[in-house]
Structure 1
Amino acid sequence: MDEKLKKVMDATYECMQACNNCFDACLNEEHLDMMRECIRLDRECADICQMVLSFSGREGSLRNDLVSLCGTICQACGKECEQHDHDHCQECAKACFTCADACRSFVNA
């Protein structure tokens, strides 16, 4: 397996896990209205990461487009999560930014 593809797969798995954890934890926060965008992006990001994992072994012509989209969504989710002081949001932001970087590196290779 290509090293850049492995890096994307590892990063998307970690990001998916962090987003799912953040999503669940945000639902229990006191000010749920303030967490609405974070929750929405956590779900979108986790879903696209899972899709990348499902498609990563295929060498289809649209794989790079999917990985690029994943990087875009991860970047947006990371920016939203880093605005919140909760540990789960900060951990999610870090995983999202790592995944976004891995996706960009893969697409630009």
Structure 2
Amino acid sequence: MGHEQHQELIRALHECMTACNHCYDACLQEEDIKMMTNCIRLDRECADICSYLEQAICRGTPFSAALTSVCAEICEACGNECKKHAHDHCQRCADACFACADACKSA
């Protein structure tokens, strides 16, 4: 998987990582932080795998199929968790996660 052929996926990964990092930070500021524990945890997992996969694609990883599959699974889990919360940052994060999961599945 060369990075030149996968600019759409790289863009989706970067947007998802950014949205997850923002959601993570915003969730830490919520009044009922205990309610946000799973969201915060999944935001971290998702941001980390998206960042790693973006870098790995740019390096020409031979593990792209396995990594994109795992990334799609984590993005969907994060999106499903974020969708449960009415906060704008969670809803925007969910949208970015689902878009990234779709891009991973299409790669």
- 1:6 Cα deviation from its structure 2 partner: 1.0
Structure 1 residues 66-105: Cα deviation after superposition (integer angstroms, max 9, x where no partner):
1111111000000000000000000000000000000000
Q: Secondary structure at the match of 1:84?
A: coil
Matched letter for residue 34 of structure 2: D
Q: CA deviation at 1:64?
A: 1.2
Aligned to 2:78: 77
Counterparts of 1:11 and 1:69, CA distance in 2 = 15
Q: CA–CA distance in 1 between the matches of 2:22 and 2:59?
A: 28
SS at match of 1:40: helix
Q: TM-score, normalised by structure 2?
A: 0.94
Say if 2:43 is the partner of 1:42. Answer: yes
1:48-72 per-position Cα deviation (integer Å, ceiling 9, x unaligned) = 0000111012333311111111111
* 2:12 corresponds to: 11
Distance 2:97 2:61 in 1: 24
Runs (4 or more) in structure 1 with deviation over 3 Å come to none
- Determine the structure 2 residue equivalent to 1:68: 69
Identity %: 54
| Consecutive unaligned residues in structure 2, runs of 5 or more | none
Q: Which range is displaced more, 48-57 or 15-24?
A: 48-57
Q: Which amino acid aligns with 2:45?
A: E
Distance 2:54 2:62 in 1: 16
Unpaired stretches in structure 1, ≥5 consecutive residues: none
Alpha-carbon distance between aligned partners in 1 of 2:33 and 2:13, rounded to the nearest angstrom:
26
Counterpart for residue 89 of structure 1 = 90
Partner of 1:103: 104
Going by fraction, where is helix more abundant, 1 or 2?
2
RMSD over aligned Cα atoms? 0.8
Equivalent position amino acid for 1:20 in 2: N
Which one-letter code corresponds to 1:6 in the other structure? Q
Q: Which whole-Å CA distance do the structure 2 matches of 1:60 and 1:17 have between them?
A: 22
